[in-house]
A and B are shown apart, each in its own frame.
Chain A
Amino acid sequence: GAGVSQSPSNKVTEKGKDVELRCDPISGHTALYWYRQSLGQGLEFLIYFQGNSAPDKSGLPSDRFSAERTGGSVSTLTIQRTQQEDSAVYLCASSLDNSYEQYFGPGTRLTVT
């Protein structure tokens, strides 16, 4: 079946602009995660959605970052007033349930100029 998809694959934006990144998880997966990966670095946890529970937002680096998940499926990560330090690859992953293997999407490479 189809894997996790993300769009856009690449996004170049000017400092100060808002961006929206989209994630389509694998159908039936109740858990959805967002991570950030800077060049040559590890995976930084941002936010986690599980079913209808309140999301775990503990990894969001500032209040400029927000995310929502509509209908328990598609998720959107929004970054307001982008800064150069926001430049990174944003990865989305989904899993059948928590503590199961996570399937990662191809990521969105964000460049803030």
Chain B
Amino acid sequence: QQPVQSPQAVILREGEDAVINCSSSKALYSVHWYRQKHGEAPVFLMILLKGGEQKGHEKISASFNEKKQQSSLYLTASQLSYSGTYFCGTEISSNTGKLIFGQGTTLQVKP
């Protein structure tokens, strides 16, 4: 039931791009993305809803393929501040509020 994230870890140089994937074995209503820096609480990045609506407030984009039950997070022209662990949280049906999070993808951006 837990979504699977890939890759588990990635190391980038500043300015490089990265893609983080999240796959579920169940049909999804929405996918949420969070970033957690070491020793800090997770911070919201984006919500992708069934039907294509996206809600986010950072310069990070994402896609949600409902048929494939997958979501991808696109980090372009990465900055040092992008370093952290990225989690996808999946919601199976609407109005449940219950998110099942993946194991996380650790991203390290080097100068």
Binding site for B on A (CB under 8 A): 31, 33, 35, 41-45, 48, 50, 56, 58-59, 91, 95, 98-107
Contact = CB atoms under 8 A, between A and B. Distances in A.
Interface in B84-111: 87, 89, 91, 94-104
A31 B55 CA distance: 18
A99 B53 CA distance: 12
A98 B44 contact: no
B103 A99 contact: no
Give the bracket for the number of chain B residues in contact with chain A.
20 to 34
Interface of B: 2, 29-30, 32, 34, 40-44, 47, 49, 55, 87, 89, 91, 94-104
Given A43-B87, A43-B89, A56-B96, A101 B101 contact: no
B44 A31 contact: no
A50 to B, nearest CB: 6
Contact of A103 (B32, B44, B55, B96): B44
- 8 smallest beta-carbon distances between A and B, as pairs: A98-B97, A104-B41, A101-B44, A43-B101, A42-B103, A42-B101, A104-B42, A48-B97
A44 to B, nearest CB: 8
Contact of B104 (A35, A42, A59): A42
B92 to A, nearest CB: 12
A66 B39 CA distance: 26
Contacts of B99: 33, 43, 45, 102
A109 B99 CA distance: 21
Given A56-B96, A99-B29, 11 more contacts: A35-B101, A41-B104, A42-B101, A43-B99, A45-B99, A48-B96, A99-B30, A101-B44, A103-B44, A104-B41, A104-B42
